[in-house]
Structure 1
């Protein structure tokens, strides 16, 4: 069982990963179940890389996924981000924005090309694109009950039913996709 990592643990892990894996270029996926700490770790990793003079772009799958469409938006992310990144071009995408509890396509967000693209979130290390990624990392996080408590604390009690359904989706997704098996499993110390 994992202890709930503190922000200091995430910073330590991010620094360790930046050094141990020599992250300088390519696409990095950070996957794992909701509430595992992916967003926190990814933000710390961007900081650790910047401290070493390495530029990166961080994109969250939350910018695409919705309660009703947790996974089929991937071709849009590939078109908008991955292909442009591979061509070494600046690129744009249209993240979802939530209006009155419903997702809508947001305004264009332009991204200046950097040598390292970090995609964090559920389904980011999916089998269909895994070959395109320089590194794939996985965070387990605490028990599903603890992860649910974290996500409810973060997103609000009104989203509890959505978050429970999301946990059920991701459990099935990860089992069928075999995501964890092709990732480097990371644990905050």
Structure 2
């Protein structure tokens, strides 16, 4: 494993990149469910002073492909940003099963997208991060968060993720691979690229 990297150092590097979506640098934090994407994206967004959009903000049924939510982001956020205009969307409240408040997405130097399929081949991404962890740990994290009664859905979802990532080759194309099992104060543990 490579030496740890601080979030401020990564933020400085991202800030030096050219914009990828109109005047905005899109940073995608991708990887399978339960790998640590949300934690990583939160820490990076604080270092960047940037907004995060989570795939969980959008309603996607368990029986839909993992990438289904992204069309909403393209239409409501990325399209307007590419044209230099603010975007926005209504956040979905999974507990209540309804749309909640509107989330405005202003034109800013950086926007972080977090979730499965954010680093997809067709996304206007300036920098792609892949976060990973062992399958059983990811499942344990997901069930601790969502409830053990959802284990069948989670196992189905994980198979669908595997298919998506294999077809998209997401991990292979990532700019940074992160070990989602290691907690580093103020930073993270990158994984050395494997050829």
TM-score tier after normalising by the smaller chain length? 0.7 to 0.9
RMSD: 2.2
Q: Number of aligned residue pairs: give it.
A: 170
SS of equivalent to 2:75: helix
Residue 47 of structure 2 corresponds to 48
Residue number among 153, 159, 163 corresponding to 2:150 in the alignment:
159
Structure 2 distance, partners of 1:66, 1:124, is 17
Q: Looking at secondary structure, tell me which structure has more helix per residue.
A: 1
SS of equivalent to 2:136: helix
Q: 1:92 and 2:88 equivalent?
A: yes
Structure 2 distance, partners of 1:61, 1:138, is 15
SS of equivalent to 1:175: helix
Structure 1 residues not aligned, in runs of 5+: 3-8, 51-55
Distance apart, 1:94 and its partner CA: 1.9
Q: Is the 8 A contact 2:48 2:110 kept in 1?
A: no
Kindly report which structure 2 residues correspond to 1:1-150, keeping only aligned pairs within 5 A, or say none: 13-22=6-15, 25-50=24-49, 56-64=50-58, 65-69=60-64, 70-99=66-95, 103-129=97-123, 132-141=124-133, 143-150=134-141
SS of equivalent to 2:28: strand
TM-score, structure 1 length as denominator? Answer: 0.79
Instruction: Decide whether aligned partners of structure 1 residues 13 and 144 sit closer, same or farther in structure 2, where only a CA change above 3 A counts.
Output: farther
Structure 2 residues not aligned, in runs of 5+: 18-23, 180-187, 190-195
Q: Is the 8 A contact 2:55 2:114 kept in 1?
A: yes
Give the ranges of 4+ consecutive aligned residues of structure 1 lying more than 4 Å apart after TM superposition.
Answer: none
SS of equivalent to 1:28: strand
TM-score, structure 2 length as denominator? Answer: 0.77
Distance apart, 1:86 and its partner CA: 1.8
Q: Is the 8 A contact 1:31 1:136 kept in 2?
A: yes
Distance apart, 1:104 and its partner CA: 3.9
Distance apart, 1:136 and its partner CA: 0.9
Distance apart, 1:151 and its partner CA: 1.1
SS of equivalent to 2:27: strand
Distance apart, 1:21 and its partner CA: 3.7
SS of equivalent to 1:94: strand
Structure 2 distance, partners of 1:21, 1:158, is 40
Q: Is the 8 A contact 1:33 1:122 kept in 2?
A: yes
- What do residues 124-171 of structure 1 show as CA deviations (whole Å, max 9, x unaligned)? 111222xx1111111112x10011101111222122222111111101
